[in-house]
Amino acid sequence: HRQEHSVATAIMSEKHLEAGQPLPALKDGSVRLFSMKYCPFAQRPRLVLKAKGIDYEEINCNLKNKPEFLLERHPDGKVPVFEHNGKVVIESNVICDLLDEVYPNPPLYPKDPFEKAKDKIVMETYSSKVIPAFYQAIRSGGQNEEAATKLLAGLTLFDAELKKRGTPFFGGQQPNMVDFNTWPFNERLAVSDPLMDLIKAKLPDLDAYFQRMVANPTVKAIINSKEIYLKFFEGYVTGNYQYDF
């Protein structure tokens, strides 16, 4: 049964913890996510946990000066890392699928295995066609035309799939795993005015879909503003990453 009233996500580390800092003690039986506030991959399980009303402890990590406890749990010291009862799981997509099995309500995939496979293909396509172009485009402040063209081509496929479904979200009337898996990147497109102008002009239905996602309570609960991302993405350009501001 969905925990409707569970809104009190326990944030253990408001600040990003770094090398030399100990891991705060965990309450018995609780669920923990090692994260970084602006990481799009960590935002995937954060959205899934929120959608399912699961309380969890969030440990934010400084990824330029990694805390030992993160390196002990992930061979490359990446986030997200999920931990429950001493069991550790890495990779955002693996974590999200695990969460959907462990906490089945509400389900975030179709019941039918073939429909579920279709959803996974949409996510795969987005990951291979949109995400690399997204990073290229964002690093250039939306000024790299080749990256913008590639990004738009990837988003066109995504838009076409949603049109084919004919529903407000990939999940139907409500967002499902496809919507949550891709949203962290869609949310960050807002940092670039040229890119958003291009999307509004060429893919107006996709823009309308973005507006529907922004209005969704799960998405809204953990959304960051354009200003916050602009500030964080300065690190991409200067190499001087700031995690707490």
Residues found near ligand GSH in the complex (CB under 6 A): 36, 39-41, 63, 76-80, 91-93
Judged by DSSP in three states, 15 sits in: strand
Q: Which is nearer to ligand GSH, 74 or 116 (CB)?
A: 74
Q: Determine how β-strand 87-90 pairs with β-strand 81-84.
A: antiparallel
Place of tokens 């934010």: 60
How many beta carbons lie within 10 A of that of residue 124, not counting itself? Answer: 11
Write down the catalytic residue from 17, 33, 39, 59. Answer: 39
Positive or negative torsion for Cα 158, 161, 166, 167: negative
Cβ proximity to ligand GSH: between 72 and 193 the closer is 72
Instruction: Judge whether 39 counts as a catalytic residue.
Output: yes
Question: Which uninterrupted H or E stretch holds 59?
Answer: strand 57-61
Angstrom distance (rounded) from CA 204 to CA 210: 10
For ligand GSH, give the closer residue by CB, 92 or 216: 92
| Burial zone of 77 (CB within 10 Å; 0-12 exposed, 13-18 middle, 19+ buried) | middle
Q: Which residues are 34's β-sheet partners?
A: 59, 81
Nearer of residues 75 and 166 to ligand GSH, judged by Cβ: 75
Question: At closest approach, how far in Å is the CB of 215 from ligand GSH?
Answer: 25
The CB-of-163 to ligand GSH minimum distance in angstroms stands at 27
Shortest spacing between CB 213 and ligand GSH, in angstroms? 20
d(CA 187, CA 173): 20
In whole angstroms, the minimum distance from the beta carbon of 81 to ligand GSH comes to: 9
Q: How many helices (H) and strands (E) does the chain have?
A: 11, 5
CA distances from 52 to 42, 55, 164 (A): 16, 9, 27
| Residue 40 vs 142, nearer CB to ligand GSH | 40
Q: Give the shortest CB-182-to-ligand GSH separation in angstroms.
A: 12
Q: Which residues are tagged catalytic?
A: 39
